[in-house]
Structure 1
Amino acid sequence: MHNSIVMCAAALLLLLVSCDPARVYEQNVDLPEGSWQIDNAPVFEFEIEDTTQRYDVFFNVRYNLQYDYYNLYLRHQLMGPDSTQLSAKLHEVLLMDSKTGKPLGKGSSDIYDVQALALDNVKFSKQGKYRLQLTQYMRRDPLPYIQAVGVRIAKDNKQP
């Protein structure tokens, strides 16, 4: 029963995000056994065609309410089409309110999804395939109750 509810929710989410004209790329990766190992650093490859456009980069995190912390530290590395590193940074993604413990994001039961803005107003100077790698930086290995992580690239709607 629980699996069919999750599948219906995932199908509804897919339907809703498929109608988003700002989205250029979005991909999520399920983590084995709902735990994120330090050496499991998913790489997301996306194509940039319009170099005049500015973009926002979001991180997607699906977590279980049994997760022990209110936040998640993760590190990104962004590589350009010529394999040069364009940026690397440590990010804090808030999963729960630090004072109340209330889960952030959208969810039901004990599974929640958070989408956090990680890089704002990015200009990709070259056309081609970019690679973004995510590594968990909580120094607990494996990190339990993180079920999936992902990346979303969207056109920046704040442009004139």
Structure 2
Amino acid sequence: MIKSIWLLIPVALLLACDPDRVFEENKDFEEAYWHKDSLVTFEFDVPSADLEYNLYANIRNAQHFPFYNLYFQYTLSDSAGTVLARELKNIDLFNPKTGEPYGSGLGDLFDHRQLLLSAYDFPSQGTYTLTFEQYMRQDSLALIVSVGARLEQVSGQ
């Protein structure tokens, strides 16, 4: 048992190394329901306005999610509340013809990363807010387990 733990430590350390990541957080939905009026909000700090960043949405869904895709809107605001970006996004969670799930999966849960902004130049160093809102035609969207945000520095800078 002790040998197993010692073997897992280097693997865990390798997986934890992510030098480009500036911020990443995921928020779970209670009972895997994303209600229409539930805005998911993240606050993160941009350490330097001299660098470019990629901004992503992380989506986790259960295998029996009743739709092949997910519509959501994101809004990026600065610390004064000025909207810098807002867009309606559509992400395919399953192949529409075969029903096979996309994303990386473990058991009946599948993770997806959707690029929101590529090589984005933030106007200044500081705190920013990213908000997600589900845009499906149902008030309560079952089997969306969590939504998250990831900010990473563009490699090679």
The answer to whether the superposition gives a TM-score over 0.5 is yes
Structure 2 CA distance for aligned equivalents of residues 111 and 142 of structure 1: 19
Structure 1 CA distance for aligned equivalents of residues 110 and 28 of structure 2: 14
Q: Could you say which residue in structure 1 is the equivalent of 2:5?
A: none
Q: Could you say which residue in structure 2 is the equivalent of 1:3?
A: none
| 1:80 paired to 2:67 | no
Equivalent of 1:118 in 92, 113, 116 = 116
- List alignment gaps of at least 5 residues for structure 1: 1-11
Q: Could you say which residue in structure 2 is the equivalent of 1:143?
A: 141
Q: Following TM superposition, by how much is the alpha carbon of 1:148 offset from its aligned partner in structure 2, in angstroms?
A: 0.4
Matches within 5 A, 1:45-60: 45-60=43-58
Q: Following TM superposition, by how much is the alpha carbon of 1:20 offset from its aligned partner in structure 2, in angstroms?
A: 0.4
CA offsets per residue over residues 49-73 of structure 1, 9 Å max, x none?
A: 2101111111111101110111110
SS of aligned partner of 1:103: coil
State the aligned residue count.
147
Equivalent of 1:107 in 100, 105, 108 = 105
Native 8 Å contact 1:58 1:152 kept in 2: yes
Rate the CA distance shift 1:15–1:141 in 2: closer, same or farther, 3 A: farther
Q: Could you say which residue in structure 2 is the equivalent of 1:40?
A: 38
Larger Rg: 2
Identity among equivalent pairs (%): 37
SS of aligned partner of 2:18: coil
Q: Could you say which residue in structure 1 is the equivalent of 2:132?
A: 134
Structure 2 CA distance for aligned equivalents of residues 113 and 54 of structure 1: 25
Amino acid at match of 1:111: L
Structure 2 CA distance for aligned equivalents of residues 14 and 42 of structure 1: 30
**TM-score for both structures, normalised by structure 1:** 0.86
Moved segments of 4+, more than 6 Å: 12-15
Amino acid at match of 1:115: R
Structure 2 CA distance for aligned equivalents of residues 15 and 62 of structure 1: 23
Native 8 Å contact 1:81 1:126 kept in 2: no
SS of aligned partner of 1:121: strand
Q: Following TM superposition, by how much is the alpha carbon of 1:15 offset from its aligned partner in structure 2, in angstroms?
A: 7.0
